Amino acid sequence: MMLGTPLNERPARLDLLQLLAVLGLMVGGAAFVYSATMVHEPVGFWQQYHELPLPQFFGWLLPQMFFRQIVWYVLGGAAAVVLAVVHYQSLVRWALVAYWASILTLVAVLIPFIGATRFGARRWIDLGFFQFQPSEFAKLAFILAMAHFASRPAGELKSPRVFWKAMGLLALPFVLIMKEPDLGSALVLVPTGVVMLFVAGTPRRYLLRLGGAVGLLGLLLLADIFFARPDAWYSVKLEPYQRRRLLVYFGQEDRPPAGASPAKILELRKQHFDDQHNVRQAMISVGSGGLLGKGWRQGTQNALGYLPRAVAHNDFIFSVIAEEKGFVGSVIVVTLYAVVLFTGIRTAGQARDRLGKLLAVGVVTLLFSQVFINIGMNIRMMPVTGVPLPLLSYGGSSVLCSLIAIGLLQNIHIHRKGY
């Protein structure tokens, strides 16, 4: 799969293979955002292009999601170029600034006046032209800060104080993102941080203990969801929809409170059915795609509105791809991600220093976590959370951050050992 570079040759400056895969993902992203959003439009791109005078054509084009996505690819690509050129060691000097800036935006977004609410979650800061999503940038800033923090001499990591500091570094954005609430984005920080610490050389016992504690907490949380009354004093204050999503994931129904009226029970049943709706429709989309799929723009799940329009082009873009391109398309998507991830790991292995290695590992883990959670929720392997599929899902913040992350990987690759 990987093209090894013969040792006696001057290695390429850029990781072209990775860039090719990224390009593939971007082409797919533009094509399927087009497919997911344009089915509801009466006229397609080419017809508009041929029939409208140029100014009007641009007037039509500008608000189209696929076009905006392409614009974000271009902007993100430019940002990636900038970030790939400046040596990452100089970049990391700004790590703590970036980290605290992101913490600031995460706090800001929680303030009702600043943060915009959509679907009951306060995740965006409306900049007029751009719905800025601080949690996306917080992920990147966290990787920078964590890499900066953990790249200290391995011996220091043995001290519990340092470990607790690292935990604090993780916990701050985690809690703030949880508060929005955005469970998925918060959760991807955990594997990213843990893997970075692990690769940095944190003693196993700390990490095992951490893993044990997280596992225990998770179990307690689930037990609470399944068995405790939602209004009990000891119950965890999750958002109702988060609670229900988790119930749906584990195939459970919300238990009606004791002595509930039949109408109430019926209402809960309906609620459960509605909660399942997205997952069920995503499963139907993916499954009915079959081996070869129905063809680009031929999927019915999205066209007929079964797959909710609000999510088809972002969180559930994979359903659209899987329905229209089938298992073959899914394999291609997973393969493209595999190329990006494994070239990223290779970059980590070839990194000039611990900082570069940790940065690469952080980016790879973050991307992998998002890919795994997002694709997994389309086939009900993971609960539904608002985690975008990097580079494929529609969304400015996500695309920008994913490309910046790729830029970082390229940066480390360019400044790798032996070059």
Q: Tell me if 289 sits within 8 A of 325, measured CB to CB.
A: yes
Q: Which of 87, 101, 327, 354 binds other proteins (CB under 8 A)?
A: 327
Residues 4-43 that bind other proteins (CB under 8 A): 4
Residues 187-246 that bind other proteins (CB under 8 A): 195, 198-199, 201
**CB 236 to other proteins: min, Å:** 25
Q: Tell me if 207 sits within 8 A of 170, measured CB to CB.
A: no
Query: Looking at beta carbons only, is 170 or 358 nearer to other proteins?
Result: 358
Query: Looking at beta carbons only, is 110 or 328 nearer to other proteins?
Result: 328
Q: Which of 115, 193, 326, 383 binds other proteins (CB under 8 A)?
A: 326
**CB 94 to other proteins: min, Å:** 26
In the stretch 259-288, what mask flags binding to other proteins with x, by CB under 8 A? ------------------------xx-xxx
In the stretch 283-302, what mask flags binding to other proteins with x, by CB under 8 A? xx-xxxxxx--------xx-
**CB 368 to other proteins: min, Å:** 5
Q: Which of 24, 372, 414, 415 binds other proteins (CB under 8 A)?
A: 372
Q: Which of 342, 353, 414, 415 binds other proteins (CB under 8 A)?
A: 342
**CB 375 to other proteins: min, Å:** 5
In the complex, the residues that contact other proteins under the rule CB under 8 A are: 1-4, 195, 198-199, 201, 283-284, 286-291, 300-301, 304-306, 322, 326-327, 330-331, 334, 337-338, 341-342, 345-346, 348-350, 357, 361, 364-365, 368, 371-372, 375-376, 379, 381
